[in-house]
Structure 1
Amino acid sequence: MLYVVIPVFNRLSFTIACLDSLRQQTDQDFKVVVVDDGSTDGTATTLAAKYPEVKVLFGSGSLFWTAGVNLGLRYALDQGADWLMTMNNDVIVYPDFVANMKKAASSRPPALYGAYELDAVTQEPIYSGGWSSWATGSFRRLLDDLAPDQRRGQWPSQNLPGRGLMIPRVVFDRIGLFAADVLPHYYADYDFTHQARLAGFEVYMNFDARLGTYPDESGDQHNRQRKSLRNYYNHLFSIRGGANLRDFTQFARRNCPPFYLPLFLVTGYTRRILGYWR
């Protein structure tokens, strides 16, 4: 059985749209777990009234993404889940999403699969995985490597985000849950997929499994769009800051080969400190 785990904190309208898109899947053989981490916008009441099929777990408001996901994953594992999927609430999945993820999962030995992300409004490609260069601190995107007519099926990838990430149970049995103790919000998904690769699992971008996302709606995008010294500080040091220097350091120390670590850190710090103002 597949369990879909969705951590939420407010933004009820996004949660409704996400759950409605899951209700429209051609394959309905899955269960949904929502982790409501202290929402104050009526999320709990709405889910209880309109989505009785959804299991809701509650946090105190201090879980952030990683611990929230882990809470849902523990529940799903305890229920005997064979496959688990992490998903953010600010996405909508297209009707054949689950079916195409399951089709990929049955095509080879247990592996991890990420979703092909499109802008939910314009339908333009947003993200499709890729490869880190430890030597230069850069990221080579599959979107740049593949022509539009090649973007189908599954392609190997190094790091994948948690938005529609499908994971076989055996991965958790081998490497444990996401690293909430060192990566509470950002980088935990990239860390997990790379740690899975180091443990011997293959990681694929599944171009046949599409979801829509809202690239301007993340908390860190608001920091970038409304430039100020306060938002700059949040960008670099807040738990929800996309360039959080502490978390980037932890990610690098856990994943970068030791030979490249000093260079990777220097280039990474430079990109994050200066990139905000570009």
Structure 2
Amino acid sequence: MIGVIIVTFQSADVIAACLESLRTSTQPDLHVVVCDNASDDGTLEVIRNWADANNVALAELSPDGPPVSTGFSILSTGGNLGFAGAVNAGLKRLLAVPDLDLFWVLNPDSEALPDTASAFARKAREAGPFALMGGRIRYHEAPGHIQSDGGVVFPWSGICKNLNSGLLPESAVLPDAETLDFISGASLVASRRFVEQAGLMVEDYFLYYEEVDWAARRGDLPLILCPEAEVLHHGGTTIGTGAMNRRPSPFANYFNYRNRMRFVRRFRPLALPTTWFLSMLRVAKLMLLGAMDEAAAAARGLNGLPPPAAVRDRIAPGDRFRAFGTGKRPS
């Protein structure tokens, strides 16, 4: 059986479509838990209205309550825990359900095709032990084009690359799963065995590189692909991740460049000098393009400096210690 974890933050404009895509799934008995990171844009109201309109039983979980049951549940995290913190909150609840052996992390701005969950379940039965499984992620705004068929991390720069990004399916060659370094966090399935072996996601990234770190701790369990399990992904609707025709925002750049250095420091320390140098070249390119705010945020993240005010102010004061290591530590 499959447990689904959806992390929401200011997701009112996309979450209903995501949930509806799961409601119409051909896979029975999904356990869906929406972990909300203190959204104040009406995300929870949208979820409740969607449930009422579709006669869906919606459980509202308390932090210390019983495990989730089959169907749809809301878990309010009580603050902005970041991506990994909210995923972990959902995982802890789902791990307590003995019948669940697959845990599907799905972005709120994604929509699964009807057979996606069934394809994941079928592949898991056929594959044997595995760590993380990815499907094919396609751009929502250009659904004929692939966003990710898994990804690699360049060894001397720490830069992540989504494979087959921008290609049409008919011209894309599915990568050998043995060559992959990570599965995109927009849609990934973790096996129970992997979670129990590797542990939960590391939470100090706050945003970006969590799934890359997780995959790097997989030991001898492989990454696998299931291209039949497709989702449509808007991409960065809240945080400003780059899409086909859009540069990443200063907010996205700060965390991406900061966490690149954190990841490399943990797993590839010999590559720290080249990672810094090659990342600074990208900062210089942004400056030449006139993207000064994006460049400044990237440079500050890369060098471990506090974020620009425009980035800092997007995180509530009570959550800034988790995000930046500054401000008042949460009690």
TM-score by length of 1: 0.83
**How far, CA to CA, are the matches of 1:31 and 1:56 in structure 2?**
11
**How far, CA to CA, are the matches of 2:102 and 2:47 in structure 1?**
24
Match of 1:142? 163
Distance 1:27 1:235, change over 3 A: closer
Match of 2:11? 11
Would you say 1:132 and 2:153 are equivalent positions? Answer: yes
List gaps (5 residues or longer) in structure 2.
58-70, 290-331
User: Are the aligned partners of 2:112 and 2:231 in contact in 1 as well (CA < 8 Å)?
Assistant: yes
Q: Which amino acid aligns with 2:234?
A: Y
Match of 2:265 among 250, 253, 261: 253
Distance 1:141 1:4, change over 3 A: closer
Would you say 1:103 and 2:125 are equivalent positions? Answer: no
Match of 2:185? 162
Match of 1:30? 30
Which structure 2 residues correspond to residues 208-247 of structure 1 after superposition, within 5 A?
A: 208-215=228-235, 217-221=237-241, 232=250, 234-237=251-254, 241=255, 243-245=256-258, 247=259
User: Are the aligned partners of 2:149 and 2:164 in contact in 1 as well (CA < 8 Å)?
Assistant: yes
Distance 1:218 1:274, change over 3 A: farther
Match of 1:190 among 190, 209, 212: 212
Distance 1:4 1:244, change over 3 A: same
Match of 1:84? 103
Would you say 1:274 and 2:292 are equivalent positions? Answer: no
Would you say 1:121 and 2:141 are equivalent positions? Answer: yes
Would you say 1:177 and 2:195 are equivalent positions? Answer: no
Q: Give the fraction of aligned pairs with identical amino acids, expressed as a percent.
A: 22
**How far, CA to CA, are the matches of 1:160 and 1:175 in structure 2?**
15
The secondary structure found in structure 2 opposite 1:143 is coil
Q: Which amino acid aligns with 2:189?
A: M
**How far, CA to CA, are the matches of 1:128 and 1:29 in structure 2?**
27
> Shift in Å at residue 47 of structure 1?
2.9
> Shift in Å at residue 130 of structure 1?
2.9
**How far, CA to CA, are the matches of 1:13 and 1:33 in structure 2?**
18
User: Are the aligned partners of 1:26 and 1:95 in contact in 2 as well (CA < 8 Å)?
Assistant: yes
Q: Which amino acid aligns with 1:255?
A: F
Q: Which amino acid aligns with 1:115?
A: G
User: Are the aligned partners of 2:240 and 2:252 in contact in 1 as well (CA < 8 Å)?
Assistant: yes
Computed over aligned residues only, the root mean square deviation of the Cα atoms, in angstroms, reads 2.9
The secondary structure found in structure 2 opposite 1:57 is strand
User: Are the aligned partners of 1:114 and 1:165 in contact in 2 as well (CA < 8 Å)?
Assistant: yes
**How far, CA to CA, are the matches of 1:117 and 1:268 in structure 2?**
26
Question: Over residues 111-169 of structure 1, what are the superposed CA-to-partner deviations in whole Å (9 max), with x where a residue is unaligned?
Answer: 11112111123211111123222135555653179973665697342111211210111
> Shift in Å at residue 218 of structure 1?
4.6
Question: Over residues 34-67 of structure 1, what are the superposed CA-to-partner deviations in whole Å (9 max), with x where a residue is unaligned?
Answer: 0112122333334345142311111223212110
- Computing the radius of gyration over CA atoms, which structure comes out larger, 1 or 2? 2
Question: Over residues 178-213 of structure 1, what are the superposed CA-to-partner deviations in whole Å (9 max), with x where a residue is unaligned?
Answer: 000x211111111111221xx111112321111001
Match of 1:67? 85
> Shift in Å at residue 98 of structure 1?
0.5
Distance 1:141 1:48, change over 3 A: closer
Q: Which amino acid aligns with 1:71?
A: A
TM-score by length of 2: 0.71
Distance 1:14 1:166, change over 3 A: same
**How far, CA to CA, are the matches of 1:122 and 1:103 in structure 2?**
28
- The answer to which structure has the higher strand fraction is 1
**How far, CA to CA, are the matches of 2:196 and 2:236 in structure 1?**
35
User: Are the aligned partners of 1:152 and 1:208 in contact in 2 as well (CA < 8 Å)?
Assistant: no
**How far, CA to CA, are the matches of 1:265 and 1:74 in structure 2?**
36
